[in-house]
Amino acid sequence: MSVLPILCWPDARLKQVCDPVRGDVSELAADMLDTMYAAKGRGLAAPQVGQMVRLFVMDTGWKTGAKTPCVFVNPEVEPLTETLESGEEACLSIPSVAARVMRPAEVLIRWRDLDGTDHEERMTGFDARCVQHEVDHLDGLVIFDRLPPEHREQMEKDYAR
């Protein structure tokens, strides 16, 4: 497979809402996994590689154990709690930046895999944070969009330097 170039903020494509996946995306998903692992990431959404479809790949545990890649086609995330947790997030599209982002502590994610099988899973901890981060990309959002205005402004200035 191939390692794809990753778009960097403020590329306008990172602000677009993605279209539902229609058709076979298995080659794109394989390339995205190769790209994610090469970039030492834990998740990668299709718009980060210039593909404007609702698809992301994730493997949150590969840095400390075996690779367990997962492909999420047309995912939907639903918060299961009003409790928000603050956690540090980084993004392959905003290199060298990490920000503390508030997110629901527990979510339900529904998606289809590459074989067309529907899945549903409750997630907590880093897995919940990661799927929310990746779904944000599908909705045209990056971590800067989740920050209070005063923090966002400073982080954007620091990143632009």
Give the phi and the psi of residue 126 in degrees, each rounded to 5: -65, -35
- Rounded to the nearest angstrom, the gap between the alpha carbon of residue 97 and the centroid of all alpha carbons in its chain is 15
User: Which residues lie closer than 8 Å to 31 by C-beta, 6 or more apart?
Assistant: 1, 2, 3, 4, 49
Give catalytic residues, as residue numbers. 134
Tokens at 92, concatenated: 């392959």
How far is it between the farthest Cα atoms of the chain?
A: 45
- Going by C-alpha positions, the residue among 125, 153, 127, 134 that lies closest to residue 91 is 134
